[in-house]
Chain A
Amino acid sequence: GESVGLHLPTLSVQEGDNSIINCAYSNSASDYFIWYKQESGKGPQFIIDIRSNMDKRQGQRVTVLLNKTVKHLSLQIAATQPGDSAVYFCAENISGGSNYKLTFGKGTLLTVNP
């Protein structure tokens, strides 16, 4: 797989390869993180989440890694399929009293070539 940061907004992989999408979040007080997939013309679709007291969480074909020391989040997609082609956003949740809000990163366009 190939890793990209938020300043490289596109990632192109071959079908069957593993994909790694990276995200640098901004607020050390963020307590919850979510990866979303967004296809053209649709709303963000939940992929996987992780709380700040964890450093790794696995789902079906996806893994999220959290490194709080350097404020870095990554999404790993195993055996990438054409249906995985979409824009992927990381989002960080900040809670404060009764206020909490979800802020999105810039996004990465993943293209899977058959």
Chain B
Amino acid sequence: DTEVTQTPKHLVMGMTNKKSLKCEQHMGHRAMYWYKQKAKKPPELMFVYSYEKLSINESVPSRFSPECPNSSLLNLHLHALQPEDSALYLCASSQGQGKYGYTFGSGTRLTVV
């Protein structure tokens, strides 16, 4: 298995809702990432998990809460989002520990109404 799988592919949520995005990989990668991508812009790093511990938080608002239950899974919990948070949310994984090879999922298209 050489893929990063993200669910759901599309999500529409209200500003008072709580939802979660899920990401899964079975390549044995020990680093996992969340990126946010607005239209016609490059992906922007949000969080990095290394060996299931949060190692980088790029000053992301607390309405985004990441979780790494185990080495294969990465969640992004969403609460009280704003319309400007609408974007494509991408998950990626890499071998970690200075080793290379980043693999991206297809993303979740999030719309906040």
A92 to B43 CA separation, bound complex (whole angstroms): 12
Which A75-108 residues sit within 8 Å CB-CB of chain B?
89, 91, 93, 95, 98-107
User: Chain B, 14-37, contact with A by CB distance < 8 Å: what is the 0/1 string?
Assistant: 000000000000000001010000
Checking B45, B50, B98, B106 against A43 with a beta-carbon cut-off of 8 angstroms, the contacting residue is: B106
Asked if residues A104 and B50 are in contact (CB atoms below 8 Å), the reply is: no
A49 to B43 CA separation, bound complex (whole angstroms): 18
Report if A44-B43 is in contact (Cβ < 8 Å); known contacts: A34-B102, A101-B33, A102-B102: yes
The total number of A-B Cβ pairs within 8 Å is 61
The bracket for how many chain B residues form the interface is: 20 to 34
Main secondary structure of the interface of A (DSSP, over half): strand
Report if A44-B90 is in contact (Cβ < 8 Å); known contacts: A49-B100, A106-B42: yes
* Chain B residues near A91 (CB-CB < 8 A): 102
Cβ-based interface call for B59 (8 A): no
Asked if residues B50 and A93 are in contact (CB atoms below 8 Å), the reply is: no
Asked if residues A43 and B102 are in contact (CB atoms below 8 Å), the reply is: no
5 A-B contacts, Cβ less than 8 Å apart? A43-B105, A43-B106, A99-B50, A101-B56, A104-B44
